[in-house]
């Protein structure tokens, strides 16, 4: 089973890299861009686990290792079973 985990700053946390990208896009004429938030993407291949087990261990992995829960949030999805 393969899962994709998206980690990004919480909405209340300033994202200077996202702001820099937004400003660059505006400079290039993409004025319709309202906001940019940067983040990290992880793809993890899990072997020998059920969907129920994945639903338990993926949030644990994300919270303990991949994201800083004080300033980051995460979302995940199964992309291949």
Tell whether the model's pLDDT for residue 81 goes beyond 90.
no
Measured distance CA(11)–CA(14) in Å, rounded: 8
What integer pLDDT is reported at residue 63 of this predicted model?
96
pLDDT per residue over 42-75, tens digit each? 999 999 999 999 999 999 999 999 999 999 999 9
Q: Where are the domains of the chain?
A: 2-80
pTM of the model: 0.86
Closest CA to 80 of 37, 35, 49: 49
What integer pLDDT is reported at residue 21 of this predicted model?
98
Mean pLDDT over residues 11-32, rounded?
Answer: 97
Element holding 26 (H helix, E strand) = helix 16-27
User: 67-79 burial string, b = 16+ CB within 10 Å, else e?
Assistant: beeeebbbebeee
Percent of the chain with pLDDT strictly greater than 70 = 100
Domain 2-80 in CATH 3.30.1280.10? The answer is: yes
């Amino acid at each position: 089973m393969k899962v994709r985990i998206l980690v990004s700053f919480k909405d209340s946390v300033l994202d200077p890299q996202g702001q820099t990208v937004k400003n660059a896009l505006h400079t290039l004429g993409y004025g319709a861009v309202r906001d940019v938030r940067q983040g990290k993407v992880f793809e993890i291949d899990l072997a020998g686990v059920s969907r129920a087990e994945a639903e338990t261990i993926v949030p644990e992995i994300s919270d303990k290792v991949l994201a800083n829960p004080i300033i980051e949030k995460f979302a995940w999805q199964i992309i291949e079973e």
